[in-house]
Amino acid sequence: MSEIRSYKDLLIWQKGIKIVSLVYQLVKSFPKEELFALTSQLKRASVSIPSNIAEGYGRNTDKTFSHFLNISRGSLFEIETQLLIANDLGFITSQTLYKEILIQIEEESKMINAFSKTLKD
């Protein structure tokens, strides 16, 4: 296994970055009137995932890192909820991309849970 020298080496951070890219791609097709509403919320929540992982890593204590991982996990659930709403409202034009993001969210959640457990052990 490779050595972790930076938060950028963490797979949970890398997957978080992937989720950001997918979310930004998805919301491009949202109605313009949603630019400062659901579109903005989804973008901010997605950026929050890798940002909190990076910040928690930088705090240098397992307890604090665990706290920031919990915030990241909360952002994942926030995005999932907002995507479900956007889909119900008919804003999502690519079901393939929508399903891919939901899969990535599920995987990221499991990875964060496992990583959090290792910090607590």
Q: What is the pLDDT of residues 73-99, one digit of tens each?
A: 999 999 999 999 999 999 999 999 999
Separation of alpha carbons 104 and 71, rounded Å? 17
Q: Which two tokens stand for residue 94?
A: 């690519």
Signed CA dihedral, 39, 47, 97, 83: sign only: negative
**Which residues make Cβ contacts (< 8 Å) with residue 21, sequence separation at least 6?**
none
Q: What is the pTM of this model?
A: 0.94
Closest Cα partner for 91 from 38, 40, 47? Answer: 38
Q: What is the pLDDT of residues 27-72, one digit of tens each?
A: 999 999 998 899 999 999 999 999 999 999 999 899 999 999 999 9
